[in-house]
Structure 1
Amino acid sequence: MPDVAQAVAELYALMPDTFTSARNNLAAEAAKAGNKELGKALRSLPKPSAGAWLVNMLALHRSELISEVLELGAVLREAQDDMDQQQLRRLSGERQRLLRSAAREARSLAEELGRPVSAAVGAEVEQTLWAAMTDADAAAAAASGQLVRALEANGWDPVNVDGSVADPSSVRPLSASGGQQRRSASKPDTGAGASGNQSAKKKSAVSAAAARALRAAKTSLADAQRDAEQAEETLRAAQEEIDAVAARRDELTDEIDDLRDRIRELEHEVAATDRRSGTLERARDGARRTARAARRAVEKAQTKLEELG
């Protein structure tokens, strides 16, 4: 039977629609095995929100992206502590680009997992990652893979992480490269040692910046290729529709030509019918005159017969 930490890791790696049943099954197994406390702890684990679930999936399936976000957050916090305004301005632009890229990657991952999410959920993920950049505790929560709710930050106050992770006791601060550890408050080094540390620090910062720039370039290339493929597909679909419309137009034009030919034939038939009708009407008029003359002749004959009788 797994302990709480193992169970949490298993449960928060699941799809949302299987979470509740899996949690209840584990809780029931623990209680049946005689560990009622564990069963109670497991049953109380909350189902993650859509945004929290997607951040957990990033931590599980896109750990390098989460690491990149947290590394940049550590550099930003350090620049903030040093009051390095020039560095802050440069890094702020890099932060925005990285967060937008991460939000797009998150939605793409959700589609790969068969659970596409809305733009609102994507914005929730971006907000959580921004909070992780601004606060060390939020960074540890985001990287834990067991978020149960999204995180929020205002840029000034510490991020409220209370109740944000399933098992807080298993969440450990990340290394300095992950942006979790504050700088030591002990007495700083002086002399050659400090100078060497500063030089190494600058080289490390430059190397990290170069690595981020390379990853950002790769992400931009992937986005551009995806956009190009979508544009090509849109073009193909438009051309197919144009071809279909053109073919239909040709069909209609042929039908119109056929109808025009038929109209001419019918007009000829109408003219012939009119001529025939005129002939018949004239014959009828002649027959009417003949009939009238015959009736008059009959009347005269009857009159004469009556006179003779």
Structure 2
Amino acid sequence: MAQKAQAVTDLYALLPEAFTAARNQRAGEAAKAGDKELGKSIRSLPKPSAGAWLVNMLALHRPELMSEALALGAALREAQADMDQQQLRQLSGERQRLLRSAAREARSLAEDLGRPVSPAVAAEVEQTLWAAMTDADAAAAAASGQLVRTLEANGWEPVTLDGALADPDSVKPLAPGQLRGPAPGKAPPGKGASEKAASAAGQEKKRAETARALRAARTTLADAQRDAAGAEEALQRAQAEVNSIADTRDELTDEIDELRERIRGLEREVAAVDRRAGTAERARDTARRTARAARRAVERAQAKVEDLG
């Protein structure tokens, strides 16, 4: 159904908020034109999830990135089939860099389209591209621009595509030429143009390698910036801890100084009390001697009175 395929292409290129109204309008137009079956089919098209919508936008607005990701996936599958461990290790590292770069590009594209997405949605996009790299049918689905939901892969079994596409019948396997990303509509070079074609191919390859190197460098830069930011935050936390400990030490030192000053004051008070105690003891001793002499005088006088009486 060419009309449905065109409707799917048009509808899944829209922003999410415009999808439902445009779908219903398209379905009504088809029914009004007499094709009720088409109208019913269009009306049943589901609105894509946020992650699926963003993958569709990558396929539509960043086809070179999508082509590079899927070409890398095809190379990985070929290396795995050939059991080429060295090639697998090299391509696996490149895949990780490309996936991180693609996730950042997806978020940037969403902002450009006026629909910023969360890190969770960007992670779903990265997960879908990873699935597309592991499975040829998933690659065709991701490149179709009509995903309804995001894709998942466990690395061992084929990716499940049930309910993932708006119009599964219209999605065909990708040809090798599509994975290499040649310019569409170009006729093969004619006789006598082989050197020119080879030169163009070489330049195209060089541009692709440069683009991959640039993305890898940007990924490395982003990782380094993230690590530097983390290290700076750790430094600030450590410095804050040092400052806090220093403040606590200063407070304790001030308290010790206050206690020492208090001790010195108490020592001065003790010395003064000791001096007063010495004076009081001397006065007591003097009073004791005076009292003793007075008692003896009383005793003598008492004895004299008794003698005279």
Give the structure-1-normalised TM-score.
0.61
Separation in 2, partners of 1:27, 1:35: 9
In structure 2, the CA distance between the partners of 1:138 and 1:89, relative to structure 1 (3 Å rule), is: same
| Superposed counterparts of 1:1-309, under 5 Å | 3-178=3-178, 212-220=208-216
Q: How big is the shift at 1:146?
A: 0.3
Separation in 2, partners of 1:55, 1:74: 18
Aligned residues of 2:97 and 2:216 also touching (Cα < 8 A): no
Separation in 2, partners of 1:149, 1:207: 37
Aligned AA (2:212): A
Q: How big is the shift at 1:163?
A: 1.6
**Gapped runs of 5+ residues in structure 2?**
181-201, 229-309
Separation in 1, partners of 2:92, 2:50: 27
Aligned AA (1:214): T
Aligned residues of 1:51 and 1:124 also touching (Cα < 8 A): yes
Structure 1 runs (4+) greater than 3 angstroms displaced: 177-180, 206-213, 220-225
Aligned AA (2:211): R
Separation in 2, partners of 1:35, 1:179: 37
Q: How big is the shift at 1:179?
A: 5.2
**Match of residue 241 from structure 1:** none
Aligned residues of 1:12 and 1:53 also touching (Cα < 8 A): yes
Separation in 2, partners of 1:62, 1:132: 16
Give the structure-2-normalised TM-score.
0.61
**Match of residue 197 from structure 1:** none
**Deviation string for 1:235-289 (max 9, x for gaps)?**
xxxxxxxxxxxxxxxxxxxxxxxxxxxxxxxxxxxxxxxxxxxxxxxxxxxxxxx
Separation in 2, partners of 1:27, 1:89: 49
> Percent of aligned pairs with the same residue?
70
**Match of residue 189 from structure 1:** none
Q: Matched residue of 2:54: which SS?
A: helix
Separation in 2, partners of 1:155, 1:207: 34
Separation in 1, partners of 2:23, 2:130: 30
Q: Matched residue of 1:3: which SS?
A: helix
Aligned residues of 2:99 and 2:130 also touching (Cα < 8 A): yes
RMSD: 2.6
